[in-house]
Amino acid sequence: MKIVCVADHFMKEEFYRDCMAMFPDIELLGVPYFGSNSRNDMRAVADKLEKEGAYSFPAPAELYELVRDADVLMVHLCPVPREVMEAAPNLKYILTNRGGLENIDLDAARELGIPVLYNPAHNGNAVAELTVCLMVCETRNVARAHYSLKNGEWRENFPNVGRVFELRGKTIGLVGFGTIGRMVSEKLQPWNVRILATDPNVSPDDPDLAKWNVTLVDPDTLFSQSDIVSVHARTLTKERIIGQHELDLMKPTATFINTARAYLVDYDYLAEILREKRITGAALEVFPKEPLPEDSPFISLDNVTLTNHRGGDTVNCYSDSPEYLIRAMLALIENGTRPKFYIE
């Protein structure tokens, strides 16, 4: 079996080569590079790819020659348009080291009979860890206290004074019970919290609900009962799922967290209710415009913890992903085991 892997600033060539060294029956034909060597530039590339798809950037010219003899193509952010697939007459699988599929022309892949294996779990643990971290940091004023001490102030009066609670016994509402939502549920087990989840794609008999003591509810119940609402959804059509109706249901003592995607939420209205203290606070990892503009209303708010969309950016989430995908592909080929994240 022959494979071509495309590196970028995040998914380094060494990660691919280290992975392929574990699979001597797979011949690595080459590792072309996509995009810039700048982290900031590549964040902009990723944003444009998510918005405009597989034709927003050209694939590396070298790729077209390398895939000619390839059975497998593995990418991260590199676009995979129809032209790349048609240049690879032997191509049997496309593997992508991310959860989003915007950089792949899925219609073309289906027409050409090329299955796609993807990996939304590649940074799932990293994001889940950050989510739990933000639950504590925002409700316990960690960032605000840090900032004050660094600036010579011993501060004791915070926006949530009189409403600083432990997580124990609180209700956590997860909007989305996919890979990351399940990981957050697992990590919350020792905290002795009540967990609610809402997800139209999850069945009430899903075994992970019982496994992690999660109650599946409708959105209105989740928003009205939760002490912390945490967003873990994603939609291919980029529609908003959290607007004025949902946010108005939240308790005045509640906290809102978004480590998923900004397009899911009415951020203008969220800023309004935070400014008017109709909810206690928020922690935001993602924004409609990134980098965050200087005129963002969240910068001036004292009841918000902000992080800069690096929640999934750990060495592990990139270095470990190629092996996961190769093993999933081999299990499919050798045992007929259908991968969890698979499109055909």
Q: Is 14 a catalytic residue?
A: no
Please provide residue 256's backbone torsions phi and psi, each rounded to the nearest 5 degrees: -115, 130
Count of H-run helices and E-run strands, the chain: 14, 13
CB 178 within 8 A of CB 340: no
Query: Catalytic pick from 76, 234, 261, 285?
Result: 261
Please provide residue 80's backbone torsions phi and psi, each rounded to the nearest 5 degrees: -125, 85
Query: Catalytic pick from 82, 290, 323, 327?
Result: 290
Read off the amino acid at residue 66.
Answer: L
The phi-psi region of residue 238 (left if phi > 0; otherwise alpha if psi is between -120 and 50; otherwise beta) is: left
- Smallest CA-to-CA distance from 179 within 201, 161, 195, 160 is with 201
In the numeric block, the tokens 């504590």 are attached to 136
Query: Reduced to 3 states, what is the DSSP secondary structure of residue 117?
Result: strand
CB 211 within 8 A of CB 182: no
Interior angle at CA 210, CA 255 and CA 329, nearest 5: 95
| Ordered alpha helix ranges (H), 140-234 | 142-150, 179-187, 207-211, 219-225
Q: Which residues pair with 7 in a beta bridge?
A: 33
Q: Is 309 a catalytic residue?
A: yes
Query: Catalytic pick from 309, 327, 334, 338?
Result: 309
Q: Is 290 a catalytic residue?
A: yes
Burial class (CB in 10 A: 0-12, 13-18, 19+), 296: middle
Residues identified as active-site: 261, 290, 309
